[in-house]
Chains A and B, each alone.
Chain A
């Protein structure tokens, strides 16, 4: 029971970090960045390359992966999404799917689709025993980084000038422009932060489940998107709560109901939550102004 809970929380914490990226971009740019899962994959490969081929330390690898993903995020935004700023949201969504396929296939060409086994960056640091259950260092690092990131993001959006600009853009883009906020640079910063988080998520995901393939980011990306919707898309604590709940539900469904039906159960819970509370657990209720 305890070990299932710990496994669930650590899996959920990874979903939560990914979901934070989804939710920030959605909240501010009002678009679903489906390429987010593939940025995770790029982050994983960057960390893999720097550790396995260049022999860098784990810390340097994480920073390198974050730097590459941040630049990648800004580039994607500049090249693919910015020209579509005033286009219909459907066009942006399709572009995002296109970017996602582009990244997957680029990785397929460069790294080939032979799976690579990711070196565990946090393997021998420590293990904690809680009664019968073993808590691996990866799980501890994952949960801690998830909490730190959430607190930092909440402080960032509520205290800093850029954070205030983000919230302003999120509330009303037109009014924010009139108030002298540079909407484009605000959105770029959002993508930079989201992609940097994706790199961290990539490293944590691959450390916990060490097979790295060009499609590695796809399924966790979808699950994290579900988590973001579950918690209320656009809400930072919502993404965190949604991610962790999703991870715990997934593991418990596997353990106590059926390993065959776990995904069906996870998505059934999502449907039920959305029927009862259409904006998600912590989502803000928006009243349509007439």
Chain B
């Protein structure tokens, strides 16, 4: 009896510091919260914004005329849209950004003027392929008609295979590997594909004379990182850029980068190209700084999010350049409206992932409007997902279908699912993104 009492007391004493800490780590919990109640929030927000939402008309759409009124395009009904992404886990920043921004887009559309109302549900996949397929099945049980996602590449490949068999249309905001779209005619990307990112980065470095001797550190256990690296290397060779050091790591060895950094330093690299996600990138920046290696750093869209990493000393990221289709300090009306809304609602500047998520929702609605306009109207209520899939595939592959969004003007898609738009480079200055 006494022993049982003792062990209970020991348990209690353990729980106390745990809960004390969790109370303080509120920001992390909050980040996950929108996932759980995305659905009711969507409806509530739609109700309250019904009256006061003028800027909705500024938002991207197929063309200005059709976005003014619902009657112009003939699109009506309720669309059940799902989102799959990591709302918790190592890549949570991406998933939450997409989820938050998609929510804003859905609210704007539901406020009227588009002819269609969207029921939206975001599902967490923790950046795990298996969980992503579970999330996909959950959405199907819910009656989803089209999906924005998956946000990250590896889960997206798994879900894309399922969706291809089911004939369900997917528009991924950020899964950039070609393996996502290859052989899957139902999957389209809103972000650059990895080959495009790799070659565009090399082109940009060459054109702007950013570095003479380039060192690359990439994750060879990750399709995203390896894909960009290979294309970058090819492009660098053909452009005559000198790559002096190429080193790798895996998810299991993403701790100690002293060897990789030393190798770059010993080979006299003046530019470090990091086609990796921000978590290992933050370690590389920190370790390079602690060994006193002063080097320029060029990243890709996976670097996006480094500034919102909890506890990260943003001065380490000072001067880091990255290629991204979105820059939050752009002055066009559409970006300004999106950034201020996002800021107001979630208290931070939207990342490129948020912008991609926002554009995804609008691109799907724009495609439906485009189809309705050319085919004498469309009622999406209760339409089966495979029927909708064929409509969306034919519209997105149509070269005359263009979308203006916050991540680019006049975006078009190839039948393979790749997007065409112009990249922009940004640099981190005083802890925020600035145009180059």
Contact = CB atoms under 8 A, between A and B. Distances in A.
Nearest to A45: B21
A260 B11 contact: no
Interface string A45-80: 110110011100000000010001001101100110
B280 to A, nearest CB: 8
Interface centre among B220, B249, B262, B309 (most CB of A within 10 A): B262
A262 B252 CA distance: 11
Nearest to B316: A117
B259 A53 contact: no
Contacts of B142: none
A112 B28 contact: yes
Interface in B1-47: 3, 6-7, 10-11, 13-14, 17-22, 24-25, 28-29, 31-32
Contacts of B88: 108, 112-114
Question: What is the size category of the interface that chain B forms with chain A?
Answer: 35 or more
Interface centre among A48, A209, A259 (most CB of B within 10 A): A259
Given A49-B24, A123-B290, 12 more contacts: A53-B24, A53-B25, A79-B11, A112-B92, A114-B93, A115-B90, A134-B291, A136-B290, A211-B282, A219-B255, A255-B263, A263-B250
Interface string A151-192: 000000000000000000000000000000000000000000
A116 interface: yes
Interface of B: 3, 6-7, 10-11, 13-14, 17-22, 24-25, 28-29, 31-32, 88-90, 92-93, 126, 220, 247-250, 252-253, 255-256, 258-260, 262-263, 279, 282-283, 286, 290-292, 309-313
Question: What is the size category of the interface that chain A forms with chain B?
Answer: 35 or more
A68 B12 CA distance: 12
A11 interface: yes
Nearest to A52: B311
A132 B356 CA distance: 45
Contacts of A23: none
A78 B14 CA distance: 13
A254 interface: yes
A251 interface: yes
Interface in A103-125: 106, 108, 110-119, 123
B11 A75 contact: yes
Interface of A: 3-4, 7, 11, 45-46, 48-49, 52-54, 64, 68, 71-72, 74-75, 78-79, 106, 108, 110-119, 123, 134, 136, 208-211, 213, 219-220, 250-251, 254-255, 259-260, 262-263
Interface centre among A136, A254, A263 (most CB of B within 10 A): A254
Contact of A255 (B32, B249, B262): B262
B259 A117 contact: no
Contacts of A260: 220, 248, 250
